[in-house]
């Protein structure tokens, strides 16, 4: 009888021990999965499709991939409509995404209007301080940080090249007055043009369908054209290139993708790179637990001059030997 009782007790203890081991093993597996393999959702909002913004988005996603973060991307395009941008941002907030990637000034402003809690990483924003997205580059504050597309030396260098190397007296530009990004650049253009004695002639648009006519209105009034990183105009850049080629007007642009699409020259950088840098910031937030307020915003790095030789021929521009020493050339 005593043996039976001892055997029962031993069996009971053995069962309890096995159950306990099984329970602990299950808990450990669950803990490892929730810690290392957590999946996140990033809402990606972009104001309009064009190569520069698309390249920034690709760079962003590549940085997330390289950081080893498990992410599902919800990609939305506003089709150059601010109302759509607002709706996209509000939907992201309702869905409870873990982070918002805002590609352009209007997209970032709509996102910040929609939430002060969800982390927002912007790119392709020329002046995030003026756009009231961050307090400063060094200390962004709030729930927003990111990478700007406005190198402080880009516009001054371009304006100086027009005056000193092209002998231009007047420069024409087409831009959307509704884009804070563009308005900030126009202010800089005016300031820099005055320094070198250039006259700035402006043509305003509100939609991409107006770009060609606005560009044609500048013919006979300007020596060169300068299209900044205005999303509305860049999305219809071929219309500007057509006029520039037909009328032999040198066309300067704000970034390299526009050089590849037919612009003569740009002091700029690769949008893929600023998108990638923005993705690295997002990874710090999701993976390392950092807050946007603690991550300084960045300007684009590695400013350089790129010239399109084929475009130069189309616009009747003779390439100077000294340019070959300082510029990169597309053929």
pLDDT in tens, 139-156: 999 999 999 998 899 999
pLDDT for the residue 303: 86
Pairing of strands 120-125, 99-103: parallel
How far apart CA 297 and CA 147 sit, in angstroms, is: 6
What is the pairing mode between strands 144-148 and 170-176?
Answer: unpaired
Instruction: Go through the domains of the chain in sequence order and give each one's CATH number.
Output: 39-150+270-294 (3.40.50.2300), 154-268+304-330 (3.40.50.2300)
Mean of pLDDT over the chain: 89
Q: With CA atoms as reference, report the closest residue to 230 among 157, 286, 268, 174.
A: 174
Our separate counts of H helices and E strands in the chain read 13, 12
- For residue 301, the model assigns a pLDDT of 77
- Residue by residue, DSSP assigns 203-260 as EEESSGGGHHHHHHTTTTT-SEEEE-S-HHHHTTHHHHHHHHHHHT--EEESSHHHHH
DSSP secondary structure code for residue 261 in this structure: T
Order of all β-strands in the sheet with 70-77: 70-77, 39-46, 99-103, 120-125, 144-148
Give the mean pLDDT of 95-100.
98
- What's the CA dihedral at 192, 197, 198, 202 to 10 degrees? 70
In this predicted structure, the answer to whether residue 83 has a pLDDT above a threshold of 90 is yes
Render pLDDT for 129-141 as a digit per residue (tens, 0 to 9).
999 999 999 999 9
């Amino acid at each position: 009888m005593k043996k039976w009782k001892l055997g029962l007790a031993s069996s009971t203890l053995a069962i309890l021990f096995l159950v306990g081991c099984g329970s602990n093993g299950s808990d450990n597996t669950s803990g490892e999965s929730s810690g290392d393999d957590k999946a996140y959702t990033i809402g990606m909002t972009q104001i309009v499709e064009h190569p520069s913004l698309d390249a920034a988005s690709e760079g962003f996603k590549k940085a997330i991939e390289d950081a080893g973060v498990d992410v599902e991307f919800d990609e939305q395009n506003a089709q150059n409509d601010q109302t759509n941008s607002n709706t996209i941002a509000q939907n992201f907030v309702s869905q409870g995404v873990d982070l918002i990637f805002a590609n352009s000034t209007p997209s970032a402003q709509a996102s910040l209007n929609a939430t002060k809690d969800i982390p927002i990483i912007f790119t392709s924003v020329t002046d995030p301080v003026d756009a009231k997205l961050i307090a400063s580059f060094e200390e962004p504050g709030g729930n927003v940080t990111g990478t700007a597309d406005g190198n402080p030396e880009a516009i001054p260098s371009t304006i100086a090249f027009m005056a000193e190397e092209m002998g231009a007296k007047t420069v024409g530009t087409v831009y959307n007055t509704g884009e804070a990004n563009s308005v900030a650049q126009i202010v800089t253009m005016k300031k820099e043009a005055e320094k070198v004695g250039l006259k700035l002639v402006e043509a305003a648009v509100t939609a991409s369908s107006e770009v060609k006519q606005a560009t044609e209105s500048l013919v006979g009034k300007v020596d060169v054209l300068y299209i900044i990183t205005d999303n509305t105009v860049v999305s219809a850049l071929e219309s500007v290139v057509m006029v520039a080629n037909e009328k032999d007007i040198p066309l300067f642009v704000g970034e390299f993708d526009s050089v590849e699409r037919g612009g003569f020259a740009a002091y700029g950088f690769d949008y893929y790179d600023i998108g990638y840098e923005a993705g690295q910031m997002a990874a710090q937030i999701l993976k390392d637990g950092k807050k946007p307020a603690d991550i300084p915003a960045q300007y684009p790095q590695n400013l350089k001059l790129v010239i399109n030789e084929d475009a130069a021929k189309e616009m009747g521009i003779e390439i100077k030997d000294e340019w070959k020493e300082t510029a990169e050339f597309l053929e």
